Amino acid sequence: MTEDFNPDAFRYLLDELDAGERAAFESRLARDPAARLALADCAAAVAQFALESAPAEALAPGDQRAILTAVLSAAGATPAKRPVPATWKRFGWPLAAAALLVLNLLQFFRPPSPDAIPAPPPGLPPPTPVVRHSSPAENPASEAVADELRRLEQLRAEYANLELARNTLRADNEAMIRRRALIDKRIGRLAAMELVDPASYARGERRGLVAIARGLLTEPGIVISDPADRPPAQQPDNPAAVSPGATPPPQTPSTGQPYAWSVFDEEEARGYLNYYNLPTVPPDQSLQLWVKQAGSSTYQNVGEVTPPNANGAGSVTYPLPKGSPPPTEVLITQEPRNATPIQPTSGTAVVRGP
């Protein structure tokens, strides 16, 4: 046993030696049993220190399982490396390379054997054997095969180009669809802003950016229908579904959900509603527009909604007293045409918001 530790053993264990020092140390280990014992002593001493300084700490059961699973998975994917004998390490690769070179040379200089050519499938002519070192003029069959290969290569290139073009067109189409949706949305908002202020346009006043910005800022947003209080759609084949005396439900012209764009111009105290998918109501019924002011618990009737077109779309403007703030709620209900109530009838709301 050594009297004292070789400092290199400690540094070797902690992986602090540079490549040269490490090689020299390992070489000494290989030839000197005393060096190996000294290393083992040092390893045991440092491990003892580490184990006492850092006592075992159990993993949580879940972590333990997860780690073991990962380790076993890695173990299954990468088998443990077998030690390679030093002799094979030194001479194995040069020998293998030399053997491969000899085999390649033999293969290169060996004449082709007709037996080696596989039989063609039934119905096809037998393939013409390709003879090495022959010019096309000497072997027309070889030229034909080469032509066929060139043609195939050309077709492959054309196919790749077509694929590329198809992908480009598809991307363009998708971009167009996205752009159109964006434009539709912007047009809807701009149309609402213009129509809310027809008086300004009639007076020839040009609306500046501030006015436009104000219009954007005062826009309450989309008014959508509330499914909870929307009346059920009428079943045309089953008129008995409508209870006698009850308000007939509106007929929805399209399957889309009713919604509306609502804009309010504070300067003109005028509101504008651009609506879509509103239902068609019977002749004795009308669609009434209501607004609720900030701080008020009641609705104020601001007029009848213009009968929508075949698609249930249309627009309506309504004035409010000068200085009125934007309404906090907009409501469209179905009411009897000649007996509009003071407050909206419950259960007949078509659109409510924002």
With CB under 8 A as the rule, give the number of residues binding other proteins. Answer: 52
- Sites for other proteins among residues 235-294 (CB under 8 A): none
- Sites for other proteins among residues 44-63 (CB under 8 A): 44-59, 63
Mark the segment that binds other proteins (CB under 8 A) among 64-72, 150-158, 188-196, 306-314: 64-72
How far, in Å, CA of 286 to CA of 334, rounded? 6
CB 73 to other proteins: min, Å: 10
- Sites for other proteins among residues 73-92 (CB under 8 A): 74-76, 78-83
Interacting residue with other proteins among 22, 28, 41, 226 (CB under 8 A): 41
Task: Name the token pair of 151.
Answer: 């043609």
How far is the CA of 275 from the CAs of 262, 317, 336, in angstroms?
Answer: 8, 11, 21
Residue with tokens 């900030």: 294
Nearest partner of 188 among 332, 333, 315, judged by Cα: 315
Contact between 135 and other proteins by CB under 8 A: the answer reads no
Strand partners, 288: 304, 333
How far, in Å, CA of 131 to CA of 111, rounded? 9
Provide the mask over 2-31, with x wherever binding to other proteins is found by CB under 8 A and - wherever it is not: --xx-x--xx-xxxx------------x--
CB nearer other proteins, residue 71 or residue 96? 71
Angle at 242 between CA 238 and CA 246, to 5 degrees: 170
Interacting residue with other proteins among 71, 96, 157, 222 (CB under 8 A): 71
**Surface-to-core class of residue 20, CB atoms within 10 Å of its CB (0-12 exposed, 13-18 middle, 19+ buried):** exposed
Mark the segment that binds other proteins (CB under 8 A) among 32-40, 134-142, 178-186, 301-309: 32-40
Query: Residues 301, 307, 313, 316: is their CA dihedral positive or negative?
Result: negative
Interacting residue with other proteins among 25, 39, 273, 333 (CB under 8 A): 39
How far, in Å, CA of 112 to CA of 158, rounded? 34
CB nearer other proteins, residue 78 or residue 255? 78
CB nearer other proteins, residue 8 or residue 335? 8
CB 63 to other proteins: min, Å: 5
Q: Chain centroid to CA 284: how far?
A: 50
How far, in Å, CA of 285 to CA of 280, rounded? 10
Mark the segment that binds other proteins (CB under 8 A) among 33-41, 151-159, 197-205, 232-240: 33-41
CB nearer other proteins, residue 83 or residue 227? 83
CB nearer other proteins, residue 44 or residue 144? 44
**Surface-to-core class of residue 200, CB atoms within 10 Å of its CB (0-12 exposed, 13-18 middle, 19+ buried):** middle
Q: Which amino acid is at 261?
A: W
CB 41 to other proteins: min, Å: 5
How far, in Å, CA of 28 to CA of 23, rounded? 9
List residues binding other proteins (CB under 8 A).
Answer: 1, 4-5, 7, 10-11, 13-16, 29, 33, 36-37, 39-59, 63-64, 66-68, 70-72, 74-76, 78-83
